[in-house]
Amino acid sequence: MTTATTPQKPTGYQVLHNPRLNKGTAFTEVERRAYGLEGLLPPAVSNIEVQVARRRAEIAKLDDDLQRYLVLSDLQVRNETLFYAVLMADIATYMPLVYTPTVGEACQKFGHIFRAARGMHLPITARGRLREILGNWPEDDVRFIVVTDGERILGLGDLGAGGMGIPIGKLALYTACAGVPPRYCLPVVLDVGTNNRELLEDPLYIGLRQQRARGDEYMAFVDEFVSVVQALYPKSCIQWEDFANMNAVPILTRYHDKICTFNDDIQGTAGVALAGVFAALRITRQKFTEQRFLFLGGGSAGTGIAELLSQAMTAEGMDIREARSRNALFDINGLLVATRTDLADFQKPFALDRAPIAKFVDAVKTIMPTGIIGVSAVPKLFTREVIEAMAEINERPIIFPYSNPTSRAECTAEEAYRWSDGKAVFASGSPFPPVDIAGRWFVPGQGNNVYIFPAMGMAVYATEATRVTEEMFIVAAKAVAEQVTEEDLSAGLIYPPQSRILQASLHVAERLATYIFDEGLARVGRPDDVGALIRARAYQPVYTDRSQ
């Protein structure tokens, strides 16, 4: 007899329809008898290696990346262990399918491809009831929440509730790339409406059909969300994702000293850019404090990178004002200069005391940067004239078109290498294939935030950190860069190969955890071996015996 103190063991269809319990054809004969699964599965018993091979063969036969994304998504909601076993068997192949660039198309078509609910959709119409609604989530212990309001999805703009694809994809990479256990991860959309008319008129749209909330109403909703998360999940870290500039910077400013939180678009992007610069300087053989950068894009991502680069320069002895003057920004209205009256507060520290410049190529020729960094979400703005000017100014120009997805990149790898006669030190936000320039092969690096945020997550999880500080992104950047080998650099690669992303992330997580302990930010006691702590906490996609 089942009592309140002896919960009934799930059986039959309950097991097969629980992605954490389901093993599919890998259930042993003993388990099938114990759970009442006999007859519900074909009689052959497979191990997980066979299951992985079966799924990989299925995916390989498809000729459309969105279809591959959907196969993987269906697997995730059916058999979580197998999903991660497939991803981690060849992460370099599957990462572009579960995240950029494919996730961009998935978000655009989210209402049309919606299959199964994942995560929490919190509508602003439920203000005052968020504690009740978040209480519907089945896990009592949540350590990571990736949350978006869907307003600035990648470089694609306002996709409303379709932005849920981003938190789902990001959290999958927390696990696949750094071993954060998936049971502690919660994807969230704050549905405050959308200003995308096409979505509002689409009968298959899955979100609120109203204009976006703004001002006090919006911020009160965010405040309630943060307050409820802190009450229900006091050990959680909130990662803000794909918020528009007008909200991203104020939200981060509002909470970063109060709770464990970070904004990946601002801080994660900055960290991966800094890592790329550290590695690039091993090719250019220049000092960090000698660099001068020009950003195409003056929003939260551009200013976030510029600020972290400036802080890293000050760590090498430079005055902060001089450091910021070496990081110039250029937006739709031209170079950010002190005489402009349209600058937001977060842009003003980077406004230069010089005459306005309206064309980006003229800014390149005037400022003479050692590197250009694109975060504009507008494709093809690193023109041939721009690349040739950079190659004329620098022996090895740093060219980082970081906007993604691929369709939004400021230039392609081939354009950067060909127009610079192979001189460019290149990295992009989305993947590009190797390029042959006069018989020499260049392997373009992908400056993907995946080198930063999963490792940050693992370090926070293992230490139960109370805060994520700006200095932690400098620590992470150095830890990423130090893993780039001389062989990688000789091919032009300035990030560790994505095939090694798990090992790279665990290394970064160890460095971050050490910093967290050093700074007194951990909730757990410091072990003798920090690396062993990280490795012991890392999730592995293996089945456990469920017959006991």
**CA-CA distance, 263 to 146, in Å (whole number)?**
10
- Dihedral sign, CA of 206, 209, 215, 218? negative
**CA-CA distance, 488 to 492, in Å (whole number)?**
7
**CA-CA distance, 15 to 24, in Å (whole number)?**
9
258 is catalytic: no
Phi, psi of 121 (to 5 degrees): -100, 115
Is the distance from CB of 397 to CB of 416 less than 8 angstroms?
no
Is the distance from CB of 505 to CB of 460 less than 8 angstroms?
no
Is the distance from CB of 236 to CB of 369 less than 8 angstroms?
no
Phi, psi of 240 (to 5 degrees): -85, 135
From 69, 84, 94, 99, active-site residue? 99
**CA-CA distance, 441 to 439, in Å (whole number)?**
7
The Cα-based distances of 343 to 242, 299, 310, 357, 362 in angstroms read: 21, 10, 19, 15, 21
84 is catalytic: no
Number of helices (H) and strands (E), helices first, in the chain? 24, 14
**CA-CA distance, 428 to 446, in Å (whole number)?**
5
From 170, 174, 205, 233, active-site residue? 170
Phi, psi of 294 (to 5 degrees): -125, 125
- Using alpha carbons, select from 343, 495, 402 the residue that is nearest to residue 100: 402
- Using alpha carbons, select from 376, 303, 374, 373 the residue that is nearest to residue 345: 303
- Using alpha carbons, select from 403, 523, 374 the residue that is nearest to residue 463: 523
Is the distance from CB of 379 to CB of 403 less than 8 angstroms?
yes
- Using alpha carbons, select from 506, 545, 376 the residue that is nearest to residue 27: 545
Q: What angle do CA 432, 438, 444 make, to 5 degrees?
A: 20
The Cα-based distances of 144 to 171, 238, 538 in angstroms read: 8, 6, 15
Which region, left, alpha or beta, applies to residue 117 given φ > 0 means left and ψ of -120 to 50 means alpha?
beta
> Which pairs with CB-CB distance under 8 Å and at least 24 residues apart come from 76-81?
76/19, 76/118, 76/172, 77/19, 77/115, 77/116, 77/118, 78/19, 78/22, 78/24, 79/19, 79/22, 79/23, 79/24, 80/19, 80/20, 80/22, 80/182, 81/20, 81/23, 81/48, 81/541, 81/542, 81/543
- Using alpha carbons, select from 523, 390, 396 the residue that is nearest to residue 461: 523
Is the distance from CB of 77 to CB of 533 less than 8 angstroms?
no
Catalytic residues: 99, 170
